[in-house]
Amino acid sequence: MDIKLVDVLVHVDESIDKTARGAMEDKVRGIEGVVSVAQHDDKPHLMMIEYNPDKTSSSDILACVKGQGVHAEIVGL
């Protein structure tokens, strides 16, 4: 079985605390097709997401992040 995976980097404009970042990460992780979500304390505005493009899209992921009440955009890799 050959599964395609894509990485996307999301930049969150606001400064949010670790608890809010964790809740946002959980929401993104709940999207069907999302394989992994990574955030690091030294770069709290960035979230790296790996997903299966046959199951979801970067625009769905971005909409989920923005749905948490923040401004965000996809950063080109």
pLDDT of residue 1: 62
| pLDDT of 3 above 90 | no
pLDDT tens readout for residues 22-73: 999 999 999 999 999 999 889 999 999 999 999 999 999 999 999 999 999 9
Please check whether the domain covering 6-75 is classified as CATH 3.30.70.100.
yes
**11, 24 Cβ separation under 8 angstroms:** no
pLDDT of residue 77: 61
- Using DSSP's 3-state secondary structure scheme, residue 57 falls into coil
Q: Which residue has the tokens 């969150």?
A: 12
What the block records as the tokens of 15 is: 């400064």
Q: Which residue has the tokens 């304390």?
A: 41
What the block records as the tokens of 21 is: 């970042």
**Structural domain boundaries in the chain:** 6-75
What the block records as the tokens of 75 is: 């950063």
**15, 44 Cβ separation under 8 angstroms:** yes
